[in-house]
Amino acid sequence: MINANLIEHIFKAASISRWNDYPKMTNLVELDKQAHKFIIAYFIAKLERDIDMNYIIEAGIFEFFARVVVTDIRPDVFHQIQKQKSEQINGWVLSILENLVRDIDGGKFLERLRNYLLKKDKKHAKERLILKAASYLATRWEFSIVYQTSRFLSDIEELKSKVEEELEDYYELIGVRKIVMNQKLAKLVDLSGRLRFQKRWAQTPRIPETAVLGHMLVVAILSYFYSLEVGACAKRLENNFFCALFHDLPESLTRDIISPVKYGVEGLNEIITEYEMRLIDERILPFVPDSFRDEFSYILGIRKQGGKFIKNEFENRIYEKKPVYHEGTMENVNEDRFNAIDGKALKHCDKLAAFIEAGISISYGVKSKELIDGFNNMDSFFRNKPSVDGVNFAEICEEFKEHFSLLQVKI
């Protein structure tokens, strides 16, 4: 499904500081920017016609992996180099990435990555434009932060003009116009962007620090590789990815409440869930365009049961005429018409992401009782429930522990 070297590559993005030649009130990292880009791309794509969402997902992952490789090159310098040395740069990036992804999907993933980097694909020009627009809007959102603390710099107004000028390149996209005009969609972009300020494992020191926003993308990427592993159909893969990408979106309204607090007081979790549902209904769903509001509710895990709405993003479900819980293997509903979501597998991906977050910090020597307990508890979870539909998560954990010298973590 995924190997330890690729996991390490993904998490390098959590240590890549953006705008590091400008003063800023908070650290802005590449992992969060990429997550924000995917969220914006989803909303833009859903307002266009005949968009290949699987291409959006995979091409976005290709671009993310490549960006980590070229992180030391400033974006403006990189874009200038690309104009003259595109083939050589992309060939160099591919030479680094191919060893990380060689075995994924029987080598087919690497072949698609090679085609994306080295060949011009006119068939998916609109999808590439959406990704470029989403990247730009995520950068523009960051710049609004940087600008507040950089007004004393002599070149900041020139940079602001350049940022605003690029906007014209994407006006043909309906979603871009809606976001820029500060319509309802802009509120969702802003709400999701603020998740970069909410830190994971906030009560303990950890390296690298990761935000809720970046965590959402890590879970989404894990869900993508899981979907490849089980041979998921196009709609199932799309649903799995975006369910994972948005699974913590409501935390922009409630904040991340750690499990010991949530489940430590009897009945508290039910109260929190009920309040969360009310906030979603008041402050998220009204801003989602009518054309895909029901689909977005389904992705968030919302369905009606016993006369009231419940939310469980980590349950197996399908959606034909209405969303329903699905029992049994998801292989039986592996057709686009079922709109399947592997909720139980996504729960494993979520726990695997947390396991990795704790483990990497411990391997760097920054650890606490909370981190070690969390790491060991999740290790036990995967030992007791190693597989979902034939995908062995426990094996991934064992390889991860060996790669990061964590085989003796227990205390």
CA–CA gap between residue 22 and residue 176 (Å, rounded): 27
Q: Please check whether residues 214 and 354 belong to one and the same domain.
A: yes
Comparing 103-107, 117-121, 238-242, which segment has the lowest mean pLDDT?
A: 117-121
Q: pLDDT-derived band of residue 43, with 50, 70 and 90 as boundaries?
A: very high
Closest CA to 18 of 92, 57, 73: 73
Q: Determine the distance from the C-alpha atom of residue 329 to the mean position of all C-alpha atoms in its chain, rounded to a whole number.
A: 25
Whether residue 204 is found in the same domain as residue 109 = no
- pLDDT at site 53: 98
Whole domain around residue 80: which residue ranges? Answer: 4-189
In this structure, are 215 and 109 located in the same domain?
no
Q: Let me know whether 363 and 398 are in one domain.
A: yes
* Same domain assignment for residues 46 and 115: yes
**Domain co-membership, 164 together with 249:** no
Instruction: Say which residues have a Cβ less than 8 Å from residue 398's Cβ, sequence separation at least 6.
Output: none
Are 374 and 258 in contact by the 8 Å Cβ rule? The answer is no
**Average pLDDT of every residue of the chain:** 92
Joined together, the tokens standing for residue 276 give: 């969360």
* Nearest partner of 226 among 371, 75, 341, judged by Cα: 341
Q: Tell me: do 134 and 228 sit in the same domain.
A: no
CB hemisphere CA count around 37 (13 angstroms): 23
Model pLDDT, residue 274: 80
* Cα-Cα-Cα-Cα dihedral sign, residues 88, 93, 95, 101: negative
Cβ-in-10-Å burial (0-12, 13-18, 19+) of 390 comes to exposed
Instruction: Give yes or no: residues 101 and 153 share one domain.
Output: yes
Rg (CA), the chain: 21
- The pLDDT, as a whole number, for residue 93 is 94
Q: Final residue of a domain: which of 161, 189, 217? A: 189
Asked which of 189, 223, 253 is the last residue of a domain, the reply is 189
Whether residue 181 is found in the same domain as residue 202: no
**Residue 117 and residue 120: Cα distance in Å, rounded?**
8
Which pLDDT score, from 0 to 100, does residue 122 have?
Answer: 79
* Cis peptide preceding 289, ω within 30 of 0: no
* CA dist., res. 397 & res. 401, Å (int): 6
Find, among 342, 384, 40, the residue nearest to 219 by Cα. 342
CB-CB contact of 320 with 337 (8 Å):
yes
d(CA 393, CA 382): 7
What CATH number should be reported for the domain holding residue 93?
1.10.3210.10
Q: Which of 128, 155, 189 finishes a domain?
A: 189
Residue 260 has pLDDT above 60, yes or no: no
pTM passes above 0.75? yes
* Residue 264: pLDDT over 60: no
Given the structure tokens 């960051």, which residue do they identify? 142
Count how many domains the chain has. 2
**pLDDT tens across 61-80, in order?**
999 999 999 887 776 777 77
Query: Are 235 and 182 members of one domain?
Result: no
Q: Are residues 147 and 111 both part of a single domain?
A: yes
Do 195 and 252 touch, CB atoms closer than 8 A? Answer: yes
pLDDT in tens, 313-340: 999 999 988 899 998 899 999 999 999 9
* Averaged pLDDT for residues 188-207: 94
- pLDDT level of residue 188 (50, 70, 90 thresholds): very high
Residues 162 and 233 in one domain: no
